[in-house]
Amino acid sequence: MIDYVSGSLATKKPTQAVIDVGGIGYRILIPTSTYEGLPEPGEDAVLLTHHHVREDAVTLFGFISAEERRVFELMLGVSGIGPKLALAALSALRPSEIKQRIVDRDVAMLTRIPGVGKKTAERLVIELRDRFEKDGFEGGASSGETSASDANFRADAMAALEALGLSRSAAEKAVLGVLRKDPAIRNAEEIIRLALRS
């Protein structure tokens, strides 16, 4: 199994990258989020990979972060989800957004991913919700229905913390930490203030 590929970035497109390793070019399929994190061609690059083997094809899928790869691989374990659909999901939503939509049972938002219908979205929720809840993601509404305002204040708080210099993962961790201590908070400004104190 190929765990990662490290070398000189030969070419990149929103859907694929070619990394030159000792004169051999590895073509790796990627989500757009990974494309945005790649350096310019000619510079060194490292992609974590998922080595997908079928009878008729051997394909490498690449990711800029371990979180992207983990979400991709967990989605592959869901009936009806293949690698192309999992890649499309990561191109449409960030890994943290996919996790949150699943935990919040937001079937309507999941069906906006190209190729994901209502039944597939429901399977994602059923099969992955418990796994993502263990990662510290908590539902946004006690009734099991998603509150759009809940999702919005979390997103606003994370965006503001990123603008203040935190990495995406650090901002996400800070927001979730505040909400675990006080789940009743429904105000982005309050979350930001408490996150910066911690």
Domains of the chain: 4-63 (2.40.50.140), 66-134 (1.10.150.20), 148-197 (1.10.8)
The answer to whether 38 and 11 have CB atoms below 8 angstroms apart is no
Tens digit of pLDDT for each residue in 101-137?
Answer: 999 999 998 998 888 999 999 999 999 988 888 766 5
pLDDT in tens, the chain (198 residues): 789 999 999 999 999 999 999 999 999 999 988 998 899 999 999 999 999 888 888 899 999 999 999 999 999 999 889 999 999 999 888 898 899 999 999 999 899 888 899 999 999 999 998 888 876 655 443 333 334 445 567 777 777 777 777 787 788 788 888 877 887 777 777 888 788 776
| Secondary element (H or E) of residue 21 | strand 16-21
The answer to whether 76 and 47 have CB atoms below 8 angstroms apart is no
Tens digit of pLDDT for each residue in 79-94?
Answer: 889 999 999 999 888 8
pTM of the model: 0.66
Alpha helix (H) ranges present in 51-187? 66-76, 83-92, 95-103, 107-110, 118-134, 148-163, 168-181
